[in-house]
Structure 1
Amino acid sequence: MVMTINQRLRQRLGSLRASPGGWLIAALSLVLIIQCARLVFVLITPATPVGAWQPRQPVDMPADAKADLFARVDPFYRSVAPTEAGSTTVTSLQLQLFGVRIDGGGGSAIIAGGDGIQKSIGVGEDIQPGVRLRSVHFDHVAIDNGGKIELLYLDQGQATASAPASADSPAGTPTTAIPAPQAGAPLSAAALRSGLALSPRTIGNRVTGISVAQQGDGTTFAAAGLRAGDVIRAVNGRPITSAADISAISAQLAPGARLSLDVERGAGTVPIAITIPNGNP
């Protein structure tokens, strides 16, 4: 006797009803079938997008964008912040910057005047009559000195107590320490002329700066904030371009003079301000 499919299903259901764990076995079998189907789907489905994968190609900058970038940024020479574009003058005022704070309100700075008293100045406030704090940056501030934008750096005016040993010195050769400058000791024009040795630095038959070396005991050299190996790149914002600039600098060393120097030191540039008080020939 041949059983139909309907009869077989009824017979199977009847046996499941008769068995106490029949429905549990049926449920577990269904779960097992579903999990097997999911496993097969995971194995046959590619993990990456369909097709040949290609890495993303780098996007090169246009030529004009490159030219504009390298015109604004020089990794070997401290550049001016964009907000002070056109101003490369380090202030010659007797001010010293001790700290900066940048926040959403514009920031503030701790600045001391000629009296040495430190004050917290906010952006837009007067540092002294006619001099206003314009903006604050990570290593310097910009000040408005009677309508002229000037820069004041954190390391401006800091002098070193001793000169580093020269790389050309033979091993075992003792080095002479430069005496530490006395706080508040004024510089004189005569001391600067006798204590500084100036010579042109040339690269490819072109004068690119003035090399500075100490003469005498080095007291004036250290008091001016200079170190062995320093090269003056600009004076009062004017770049050094010829050996005749040495005579021009010497002529400016006079009572009442204020010189703002851009000094190349190692791979960076340090701004130094030299002020010769009146009455110090």
Structure 2
Amino acid sequence: MAVFRIDRFGPSEAAANAVRERIAALLKRRPGGRRQTNPRLIRAIEIALVAGIGVLLPIIMYQGLGPVPKPPTAPAPTPLATPSAEIGPINPFRTANAPAAPAAPADVGENLSETTLNLSLHGTWIDAKGGTAIIKTPDEKQGRFAVGDTITSGVTLDRVERDHVVIIRNGVREALRLIDRDSAAGASAAAPGGAAPAAFAGDGMAAIGHFIVAMPETDEVGGMRLVLQPADDVDRFEALGLVPGDRLVAVDNQPIDRDIAAGLEAIAMTQGRKSVTLSIERDGVVMPIVIAMPNETVAMPND
């Protein structure tokens, strides 16, 4: 331990300087004493900081001021292949607002066996929903069935075509064809003297003479009704006192209502008669019109 001797009775400048030097030397030798940092190390650290800031600053500016990235989206589903349109059989009696009949698939018609069930097909009507059929069931009742409806136990209507329907019977497809189609067509062609008997048309329509066709049509509430349309000659049709679109409500005073099957059968029963009285509804008014057959002259509406 260092011992300082100070003459308090005789201090001098030299003694004071000596004390200062000793204290400074002791402070330099202390472990916690201040040490001088290398200037090169400080310069290297400063350069590294400047370089890091130079790299990060453009990235931060791009993230903050650059365009907003679009969120990831799921890939668009692959569109299903749409079957190409086919040209089906042409209906010469179809009106402008009636749907065209779709082409018949290759697996129906002659390739299907005729059903052995006690069913009778009296008419078909093809529309955008697949169509409907007028079928007599084993209980001797006629009804209108749409595609998918159950006709009888274990039998559903699968498809409606112009001259037949396809039914599914316990998982097996079978055909049900219009009754007396061939014989009716032959009788119509062989009518003597240009007579015009009433007959079923191939797609659920019924013809009276050469100028009148009764065809099913869907009304505003989804029900079916029979309307009258010209077969080919509009002038002759209108000369009978009819207007295209007249609703047929009775044949020879036999009401039809919404029973399409009964209406078609009533028209078929007019074959061979000298005259037919058609009760039509037009603009909410029902009027009878007498059609003379086979010359198809017309009597004025009865008062």
Q: TM-score range by the shorter chain?
A: under 0.3
| TM-score normalized by the length of structure 1 | 0.27
| TM-score normalized by the length of structure 2 | 0.25
